[in-house]
Amino acid sequence: MIAPVPNVAEMAPYALADLGRESMISLAQNESAFGPSPLAVEAGQRALAGAALYPDPNWTELRRAISQTHSLPGENLLCGAGSMELIGCLIRAFAGPGNEVLGSARGYLFAATACQQAGAAYVTAPEAGFTVSPDAILAAVTDRTRIVFLCNPGNPTGTRILNADIALLRGGLPSGVLLIVDQAYAEFDDQDHAAAFALAQRGATVVLRTFSKAYALAGARVGWGLFPGAVAREVRKLLNPNNVSGVSQAMAEAAMRDQEHMLAIVTRTVAIRREFTERLRRAGYVPPESHTNFVLIPFASVEAAKAADKRLRDAGLLMRGMAGYGLAHCLRATVAAPEHMARAADVLAAFREHGNDR
């Protein structure tokens, strides 16, 4: 028998969403309810003809677009094949066997997978309700902590803390601990993000963004981050050379330059989310206030969540089960087209009205 290294032998594969039957409407993967910018599609089509050549390894034009849009120094930007690639490389660069990566109890599970890949321990601090507690994170720091991983707004909770509180968290952490702020949903969160970017320019903090959510390019696999120079140098060694295809770079660049399209996606998504959340509340559910493109729906019990999931599947709708997050009594619903959200709200309202949420 060929033996893998111990940390790989012990790990379970990353649990992707159950995609159900082909005919089902997926509310399971936090993909955009709307398509990408038509300018991004055109740019991708134009770039196809260049596929004989390797892509720009430095993402020059894409970085220029990000740098100009967000007023950030281009030399501190790195791009990944999705922000997941950046998360994986950051954790491998700064944590290994004997080290701890500290997350929040309801934090993004890919961080745990990346830790297993790196042979580092992933530990979590408790949350206050469904919201990250900076104090609990600070209290959980040990000599072994190398990285604090924070997803804000959070997945799967949808809640957020203020950037001013992230600055306080940073201030309370030892300077040798790297803070990663995963802002995959920042475009849906109406607070000012300059304060978060400012932290990354001061050192020991990284801010990550993605084109997969508000830019509607999950299939293109492009993420980016703002890195202190010394951190970027190490992460760069671990990125695959030529990691983002030419087509994807062209699409992402055009999408970044079309802020109007992205903001329209956000506005429409938020309107559908509010309507869906209100309908759930009127039916008696208590979803936490979301600042993302999804809603976490707590049920009265694990059995109720399972039964509701079955009703939804029978109606052709697939939400994300949350057992992997220790939230087996919840389902997570990605905001989709209004008619699909209306159908989901109908099913869940009837479920509760018939006394099944017990």
Ligand X SMILES: *Cc1c(COP(=O)(O)O)cnc(C)c1O
For ligand X, the binding residues (CB under 6 A) are: 30, 82-84, 108, 151, 155, 182, 184, 210, 212-213, 218, 223
Work out how close the CB of 218 gets to ligand X at its nearest, in angstroms, rounded to a whole number: 6
Residue 3: half-sphere exposure toward Cβ, Cα within 13 Å:
3
Work out how close the CB of 332 gets to ligand X at its nearest, in angstroms, rounded to a whole number: 10
Work out how close the CB of 160 gets to ligand X at its nearest, in angstroms, rounded to a whole number: 12
Work out how close the CB of 301 gets to ligand X at its nearest, in angstroms, rounded to a whole number: 26
Q: Which is nearer to ligand X, 146 or 221 (CB)?
A: 221
Q: Which is nearer to ligand X, 18 or 342 (CB)?
A: 18
> Residue 193: phi, psi to the nearest 5?
-95, 0
Q: Which is nearer to ligand X, 81 or 120 (CB)?
A: 81
Residue 223: half-sphere exposure toward Cβ, Cα within 13 Å:
26
Question: What are the C-alpha distances in Å from 217 to residues 56, 251, 272?
Answer: 19, 8, 20
Q: Which is nearer to ligand X, 63 or 213 (CB)?
A: 213
Positive or negative torsion for Cα 272, 277, 278, 282: positive
> Residue 100: phi, psi to the nearest 5?
-115, 140
Q: Which is nearer to ligand X, 212 or 248 (CB)?
A: 212
Work out how close the CB of 187 gets to ligand X at its nearest, in angstroms, rounded to a whole number: 12
Q: What is the dihedral of CA 166, 186, 278, 157, to 10 degrees?
A: -60
Q: What is the dihedral of CA 79, 81, 83, 85, to 10 degrees?
A: -100
